[in-house]
Amino acid sequence: MKKFLLTTSLLFLTIISFAQEITVAGTVKDDTGVPLPGANIIVQGTTKGTITDFDGKYTIDAPSDGALIFSSLGFETATIAINGKTTIDAMLATAAEQLAEAIVVGTRGQARTKLETAAPVDVISISKQQINMPQLDVGQMLVASAPSFTAVRSQGGDLSSAVNPPQLRGLGPNQLLVLVNGKRRHSGAQLIGTATGGTANSVDMDFIAPDAIDRIEVLRDGASAQYGSDAIAGVINLVTRRGTDKFTANYSMGFYTNNNPDLSDSNISESDQELLEDTDGIDGITHQLGANYGVSFDNGGYLNVAGMYRQNEAAIRPNISGATPYGESYLNNERTDAQGNVIITNPELLAAQAVGNDALAAELQTDAGLLAARGLTQKDVSTFAGLPVSVLGSVSYNLELPLSQTSEIAFYSFGDFGYKNTDGFGCFYRRAEQTDRFNYDLYPNGFRPQMIITQTNLAFTGGVEGMLGEWNFDFSNTFGTNTQRYGQFNTFNASLQSESPTTMDLGTHKFSQNTLNFDLSRFFPDFLSGLNIAAGVEFRLENYIIERGQPESFEAGDAGFFTATEDNQALIGPDGFPLESLNGSPIVDNNGDALILPFGGVSSYPVLQYSPNCQCFRGFAPENEANEFRSVTGLYLDAELDVTDTWFVSAALRTEQYSDFGGVFTGKFATRYSITDNMAIRGSVSNGFRAPSLQELNYSHTFTFFVDLDPFDGTLYPNSSQVAKAIGIEQLTEERSTNLALGITAKLFNKLDLSIDAYQIDIKDRLFTTGNFSADDAPVLEPLIGAGLASFRINGGDVSTKGVEIVANYSEYVGEGMLNLNFSAIFSERTFEGANVPDLNTALTDQELEDLYIDRGVIGAFELGVPTTNFIASATYSLDKWSGMLRGNYFGEISRIDDGIGTLSDENFPNAGEQGYSDQTFSAQFTTDLGITYAASKNLSFTLTGQNIFNNYPDLYRSEERGFYLYGNGQQGSLGANYLVRATLSF
Amino acid sequence: MIKTYIKKLSVFTVLLIAFSSCNIERLESAQETAEGGGTIDTFTAYTIDSSDPTGSNVYGRIVFWKTDLDQTLVQISLYNTIDDILHPAILVDGAAGVGTTTLMTLDEVDGSTGELSDNKFFLISDTAFYDSISVLDAHVSISLSPSDDTIVAMGDIGANADPVDSN
């Protein structure tokens, strides 16, 4: 024991003597002697770094025997040994290489530049690029920068629109792992609808303030063996700013021009075109304020604090469906309540009759006439899509504190808190014509229910990292939680009629995740050309909660019931006629006589079968409530070896054990070989997995959907439910993937960086959602679902995605300024390989079952819902006080595949007048972004920037499908041109 | 140093406060409508009995509804009317079988539906009418057709009969 203690003490003393840090300062200049602001300085072998200020000056704490790596956009990287010096000036030679920041994602060893990695990594320097970008949120910044990246936010302003989901290579947002400073980011609580089919939980990119981020690394390769579940499509790592030693703030104000495209050649009627043209001018006015302040401590630590506040007004893109707003019974005052009392719905008509104006009375008995009399247009009673009203705030910090002056051990912590409120309008307009969801007292002209989604989001990481002997260690705990409270206004529970509240609490979802990590790594510089060994354990605990909403949001009221007041009471109204149902039909027996209610005070009859629960979105009910936990234990081993100076190999093994469905093993092998100094090939093979999330396992909800404007009520049941068991739906299992990648990187003419990478990902048992089963489809469900419909989440089938990604960067001094040209492209193909249909208890044929189990609409969304081809080409130029950015974005064509046969009516498409699927291909789109910045002084600059500046809209939906959206989703969206001005302050 | 921090944070705070003062309004539902709409539950209903010598047995009710604007809506609901025939309906002075002077001509009853033909209700604008019904010495008379004034049904109202239903 004494020997052990002595050895340990000596070891610590050795560590302390090794670990003497000094503060190094200096200036970084280019090869003409001009100071370089924003240059990166990184301590070699670590991720510790800083950037130069406006005068090219920097300070950094580093081991006295270490080395510093200097890099900057458009310049060669330089590595300079410290050798105890406290002042080191660096001069960087002009080079073609861009964004040469050391990359930490995808490796647990030595940081590498992006051309040196064994897998493709994009580095998006938010801190540098943000100033000229019209995009305000991190997700859209990534879309504009990385061709494989998509972040299709629902344009319906519905529940899903409250989340900004990241997606890579056309896979789901939960098939992409998001890290913040290398630590797993927690998912949002909600299961959102995705553009590529099905539902998925997702990290919400909105809660990470752009001002807090230094750069984002996008690893385009499967990495489950390195990071665990979810990293099927890849990993994005957001690296937050460190002690910047300056205060920066920016204020942006933007808006949409709200100019409709020329629709004169479309089949939208002229009157509807006039309505669409009748806009209120610019909309979606957005204000964003961001700030960041960082301070470096004398002991080598730092604190960085950032905050962001954004609010935007609605950008409404109405749909003109031509649906009847009022209908005959409304226009003629023919509606009655459950007791047969008269409901005057058209008092204007009575007024005209009172003065004997027959012509006016006739006009008021038409939909158009009554709308006009009330000063309304079709737009006022139409469904809205577009950008919902939202308010977003986020504050974050990043802290590092050395635990002593003599050790290399430091405490670090980073975290953020965010709040977001979204008033979505993504519900069909409830027209007054729809008698089952109508109440004159509350909504005489119908109503547009609106969602309220209020989110709070908290993330916190604390840890200790440093050296234990020759070993780097990192012990950390990361906690994250997202709470989403759902509500609705402009709604009501029709079965309660006038007694219903019009604003309701629909329930709360909460997802929490705590991850404990212990990582060890050691670099053996003398083993061949360098070997890094890493190992670690992870323990993750997750909790998912669904809490019910207020009773009125999910209950069925009795406002439509007639209750007898005496024995053998006839079901007649004051007029002596049988009471009428919602469609105006008399309620009679087989002889045509009014029904008789036998027992006074007891017998009742549902005369008017009003729609129950909160309109548009049923509140979460007791049967939906959940409070589920899961624990996950992971263990990994990772090795990276530079076999020679030109050949690099890496391998990783990982196992994870889930408390609720067993364990998985994954592995990865990657290699890179330098053919010449300027050219290398790289490739990887790995398998991966994604465990079904707690949300996917436990979410259930009853929802209303529309077919040709007719509402149906369906329920998504969890796989553990009686309904699922009755029909034979099995428990969800993990998705399993295999990833293959092969690529080439090159530096050409010393100015052009080029990487071409091909990939193929095969996923077995991908999660989908079934179509809706009725009791006719599955008679065994009749006692459980009655007249309702049932759907389920399933490991529905195997899919694959493959493609080629090209990234090229070119930098050159042109005149007195620096020109940077970037081009990136993805050519991909996503394929649904086949359904895995189990033997279910249904009355359907095998083909009918397969078509319902995974309908063609879901398959189509996966394969063609977002572009398979994307290009991004951009140019930036800086000269004196001016800098500019011009970017072109090409979105390849997408398709919508219909999920049900209907009557085809659009003459612009084949087979009009026949029964068929209303499939549609939306043509490729091109948009242009522009940004110009003028530095008025050292501390203040102004930017004018625009997104989609030529106001390019995607194709119109074919007329059969214009119930909700007017324009296609999945490309540039249908909001049109957006302009923004920004002031940036720095001192 | 502290002054510098305060200065920087002050700028940020002022910007934040100025910025947060912007209001975002919620969209409201369209409430535009004329006065007088909504559910009417004030009514007085009287029985109409068959008086057809040919035995057509037309019978039913006449209902007087009081609107929120104190107007009166007259509703007639008859069984056994004849399809495609319009039955004139009038209010007649005095009790059934006694009076003969027409007080008011209502719309015709559509024989196919048993209800008033042009509109479901006949509107009486006189705001004092409804409250005077209970003392009105009158009855309702239904004729066979515009060209045949055979009375097929009639019923006492007001002072001449108790309502079959009211509220």
Of the pLDDT bands very low, low, confident and very high (cuts 50, 70, 90), residue A332 is very high
Q: Which residue of A has its CA nearest to B166?
A: A574
Work out the end-to-end distance of chain A between its first and last CA atoms, rounded to an integer number of angstroms: 57
Q: Kindly state the average pLDDT of the residues A278-303.
A: 90
pLDDT of residue A454: 95
Q: What is the mean pLDDT of chain A?
A: 88
Residues in chain B with CB shorter than 8 Å from the CB of A287 are: 19, 22
A782 part of contact set with chain B, CB < 8 Å? no
pLDDT for position A112: 57
d(CA A320, nearest CA chain B) in Å: 17
Per-chain mean pLDDT for chain B:
87
**ipTM score of complex:** 0.89
Give which of B11, B13, B27, B63 to mutate to test A binding, by max A Cβ within 10 Å: B27
pLDDT score for B38:
95
| Residues in A touching B20 (Cβ below 8 Å) | 309
**B141-164 CB burial, b ≥16 within 10 A, e <16:** bbbbeeeeeebbbbbbbbebeebb
pLDDT of res. A55? 72
Distance from CA of B75 to the nearest CA of A (A): 7
| pLDDT exceeds 70 at position B3 | no
Residues 6+ apart with CB under 8 A from A754: A745, A746, A747, A748, A806, A807, A808, A809
Categorize the per-residue pLDDT at A280 as very low, low, confident or very high, splitting at 50, 70 and 90: confident
Tell me if A224 sits within 8 A of A688, measured CB to CB.
yes
Task: Report residue A6's pLDDT band, with 50, 70 and 90 as the boundaries.
Answer: very low
Sequence length of chain B is 167
**Binning pLDDT at 50, 70 and 90, where does residue B10 land?**
low
What is the pLDDT at residue A56? 80
CB A739 within 8 A of CB A685: yes
| pLDDT tens profile A908-920 | 999 999 999 999 9
Chain A residue closest in CA terms to B47: A576
Task: Print burial letters for A182-193: b (CB count within 10 Å at least 16), e (below 16).
Answer: bbbbbbbbbbbb
Contact B114 A291 (CB under 8 A): no
A73 pLDDT band, cuts 50/70/90, is: low
What's the gap in Å between the CA of B66 and the closest CA on chain A?
A: 10
* B35 → chain A, closest CA residue: A347
Show residues of chain A in contact with B6, CB under 8 Å: none
Confidence at A115, pLDDT banded by 50, 70, 90: low
| Contact indicator for A584, A329 with CB cutoff of 8 Å | yes
Task: List pLDDT tens digits, range A376-409.
Answer: 988 899 888 888 889 999 999 999 999 987 778 9
For the stretch A961-978, pLDDT in tens is 887 788 888 888 889 999
What is the least distance, in Å, from the CA of B93 to any CA of chain A? 22
What contacts A593, CB < 8 A, 6 or more positions away? A578
Distance from CA of B87 to the nearest CA of A (A): 18
What's the mean pLDDT in A570-590?
A: 93
Question: Over 90: is that where the pLDDT of A118 sits?
Answer: no
Whether the per-residue pLDDT at B21 is higher than 60: the answer is: no
Residue A376 to residue B26, Cβ atoms within 8 A: no
Q: Which residue of B has its CA nearest to A379?
A: B30
Distance in angstroms (rounded) separating the CA atoms of residues A191 and A198: 9
Q: In the prediction, which pLDDT does A929 show?
A: 94
Contact A376 B30 (CB under 8 A): yes
Q: Is the CB of A333 less than 8 angstroms away from the CB of B32?
A: no
Of the residues B29, B71, B73, B129, the best mutation for testing chain A's interface (the one with the most A CB atoms within 10 Å of its CB) is B29
Decide if B39 and A440 are in contact by the 8 Å CB cutoff: yes
Contact A354 B125 (CB under 8 A): yes
Contact B30 A334 (CB under 8 A): no
Q: State yes or no: pLDDT of A4 exceeds 50.
A: no
pLDDT in tens, A626-681: 999 999 999 999 999 999 999 999 999 999 999 987 888 999 999 999 999 889 99
Beta strand ranges found along chain B (DSSP E): 38-40, 43-50, 59-66, 72-79, 86-87, 89-93, 102-105, 109-110, 115-116, 122-124, 137-145, 148-158, 165-166
In contact, A567 and A598? CB cutoff 8 Å: yes
Say yes or no for a CB contact (<8 Å) between B41 and A339: yes
Give the pLDDT of residue A342: 95
Say whether pLDDT at A133 is over 90: no
- When mean pLDDT is compared across A311-325, A350-364, A469-483, B18-32, the lowest value belongs to B18-32
Among A341, A381, A985, whose Cβ lies nearest the Cβ of B30? A381
> B78 to chain A nearest CA, in Å?
8
pLDDT for position A336: 94
CB contact under 8 A, B31 and A444: yes
A48 or A440, which is more confident = A440
| Top-confidence residue, A198 or A893 | A893
Contacts of B36 in chain A (CB under 8 A): 344, 347, 350-351
Residue B134, CB-side half-sphere exposure with 13 Å CA sphere? 7
CB pair distance less than 8 Å for B71 and A423:
no
- pLDDT above 60 for A609: yes
User: In degrees rounded to 5, what are phi and psi of residue A928?
Assistant: -125, 130
**Taking the CB of residue A395, how many other CB atoms lie within 10 A of it?**
17
Cα torsion A836, A841, A842, A843: sign: positive
Q: Does position A222 have pLDDT exceeding 70, yes or no?
A: yes
Predicted structure pTM score: 0.86
CB contacts of A293 in chain B (<8 Å) are 8
Residue B22 confidence (pLDDT) above 70: no
| Closest Cβ–Cβ partner in B36, B47, B167 for A344 | B36
Range name among A73-77, A196-200, A408-412, A596-600 with the lowest pLDDT average: A73-77
A234-254 confidence digits (pLDDT tens):
999 999 998 888 899 999 999
* Minimum-distance CB partner of B43 among A247, A440, A574: A574
Nearest residue of A to residue B62, measured between CA atoms: A575
A191, pLDDT greater than 70: yes
- Cβ of A350 within 8 Å of Cβ of B71? The answer is yes
Backbone angles phi, psi at B41, to 5 degrees: -125, 15
pLDDT band at B18, cuts 50/70/90? low
Residues 336-395 on A with a CB inside 8 Å of B are 337, 339, 341-351, 353-354, 373-376, 380-381, 389, 391
Contact B166, B46 (CB under 8 A): no
Q: Grade residue A106 by pLDDT with cuts at 50, 70 and 90.
A: low
Tell me what the mean pLDDT of segment A83-94 comes to: 84
Mutation target vs A (from B17, B24, B75; most A CBs, 10 A cutoff): B24
Interface test mutation site (partner A, options B19, B32, B33, max chain A beta carbons within 10 A): B33
The backbone torsions φ and ψ at residue A780, rounded to the nearest 5 degrees and listed phi first, read -65, -20
CA A722/CA A726 separation, integer angstroms: 6
β-pairing verdict for A701-707 and A679-690: unpaired
Which pLDDT band holds residue A307 (cuts at 50, 70, 90)? very high
**B23 to chain A nearest CA, in Å?**
9
* Residue A969 to residue A160: CA distance in whole angstroms: 14
pLDDT at A84: 86
* CB of A454 less than 8 A from some CB of B: no
In this prediction, residues A435-461 reach a mean pLDDT of: 95
The pLDDT > 70 percentage for chain A reads: 93
Of the CA atoms within 13 Å of residue A543, those in its CB half-sphere come to 11
Say how many CB pairs under 8 Å bridge A and B.
146
Task: Please judge whether B11 and A985 are an interchain contact, meaning their C-beta atoms are less than 8 angstroms apart.
Answer: yes
- Residue A453 reports pLDDT greater than 90: yes
Q: Is A566 exposed, middle or buried (0-12, 13-18, 19+ CB in 10 A)?
A: exposed
Closest CA to A510 of A545, A458, A468: A545
* Model confidence pLDDT, tens digit, residues A510-550: 999 999 999 999 999 999 999 999 999 999 999 999 999 99
- pLDDT tens digit sequence for A314-331: 998 888 777 899 999 999
A584 touches chain B (CB under 8 A): no
Predicted confidence band at A96 (pLDDT cuts at 50, 70, 90)?
very low
pLDDT of residue A184: 95
**pLDDT at residue A9 above 50?**
no
Q: Does A50 touch chain B (CB under 8 A)?
A: no
